[in-house]
Amino acid sequence: MLTGREETPATAGRLRQPKALPLRPMLTVIVDIEPIRSATQIHTVGPMNRKPAHLKLAVLLGFLGLARPTLSIVGAYDSGFLAKPVGPLLLTALISAVWIAAAVWRRVHSPVLTLTAAGVAYALFAILLNLSLQPFLASAEPIPPPGYIAILIFNALQGAVLGLIAWAILQVRTSSRARQQ
């Protein structure tokens, strides 16, 4: 059996030996970058910080967001002070303010990620609420399949925008504290 390197009568004298590469001296430099890394970390607080989202807060805020569809289910938006369209808009603004205030008050490391997760949590809770009420309420209509994706995307984007607002507030508070010291 030929492996491709054996000499046969047809290849006699024509096999090449691999050339040895010349050895080049190498210089290895070890640099301690920890002082550089720690100095830059003080100033690298951004809206998409790499620290994890505060998931417990996100789930709690997502659950709090269910107040709006719950009030719709019990008929609070049918008449009176909370009649449509004022009621749902007012409650959405109130819930948004609570989300921002919670992120600022808790000083979460990643407000954008945390409130985006809260938006996704709210969307999932709202979908589950709708699915669980369909057998009991005629007003709980089935959501078409593209609607599930749209609900998730819209609420995630809403959470991200609220997270950017919370991040901006945290930046203003941090810079004003730094000036006072």
CB burial string 81-91: b at 16+ within 10 A, e below: ebeeeebbeeb
Stated pTM of the model: 0.69
* pLDDT value for 41: 43
Q: Any idea which residue has 């709690």 for tokens? A: 60
pLDDT values of the chain reduced to their tens digit, one per residue, 181 residues: 555 555 565 555 555 555 665 666 655 556 565 655 554 444 444 555 556 778 999 999 999 999 999 998 888 888 888 888 889 999 999 999 999 999 999 999 899 999 999 999 999 999 999 999 988 888 888 899 999 999 999 999 999 999 999 999 999 988 877 777 7
* Pairwise CA distance, residues 87 & 74, whole Å: 13
Q: Report whether 167 contacts 112 (CB < 8 A).
A: yes
* pLDDT value for 129: 94
Give tens-digit pLDDT for 22-51: 666 655 556 565 655 554 444 444 555 556
Name the residue ranges covered by the structural domains of the chain: 45-180
State percent of the chain over pLDDT 90.
50
* Strand stretches in the chain, DSSP E: none
Sorted by sequence, the CB contacts under 8 Å of residue 82 that are 6+ apart come out as 71, 76, 90, 91
Peptide bond before residue 85 is cis, with ω within 30 degrees of 0: yes
Give tens-digit pLDDT for 58-78: 999 999 999 999 998 888 888
| Both structure tokens of 27 | 């210089």
